[in-house]
Structures are given as C-alpha cells and as structure tokens.
Amino acid sequence: MLPRLARLQPAVISDLVRRVEDREFDVVALTRAAEGNDEWWRDYHLGQPVISALRRSYRFDGQADGYYVYVPGPGS
C-alpha cells in the first residue's frame, strides 16, 4: 500500500522515513523480518525507503505473538 501512496503523495512517505530515522517509535512490529525479503518490502508492503530507514535506525529485539519486534538501534 505505501509504495502506491508514495507515487501519489511522496511527502507522506518522506515524513514517515524521517520519523523512522529519528527513532520516534518505541517499538515497530512487523509481520515479516525486516532483513531479507526485499521484493516483499519493495513491491507490496512498506516500500524500499521506509524499510531501509528501519534497517538503519532499529534493531531486531525478538518475536512476540508472531510479530518481529524492532526497537531503536545504535545512535538512538
């Protein structure tokens, strides 16, 4: 969904990327691991800019109830 939104309203995506890079979220829960699965992230889910920001700014903390949990990473 976000890749489609990015084509229509790129400012919305750039704002989300900035917020992820600024580590504004205490926890991010994903249904798939952020690592790998680039086609899924690029084409179907968050889009490459958002998942790249998450990979840079958050670290994997474990799994809970089937979700992959990420918390702010180094430099936070």
Better-predicted residue by pLDDT, 52 or 1: 52
Q: Residue 37: its pLDDT value, please?
A: 77
Q: Are 51 and 34 in contact (CB under 8 A)?
A: yes
Whole-model pTM: value is 0.83
Cα distances from 44 to residues 31, 36, 76, in angstroms, run 13, 14, 28
- Whether pLDDT at 75 is above 70: no
16-73: per-residue pLDDT in tens?
Answer: 999 999 999 999 999 999 998 778 777 777 888 899 999 999 999 999 999 999 999 9
- Whether pLDDT at 76 is above 60: no
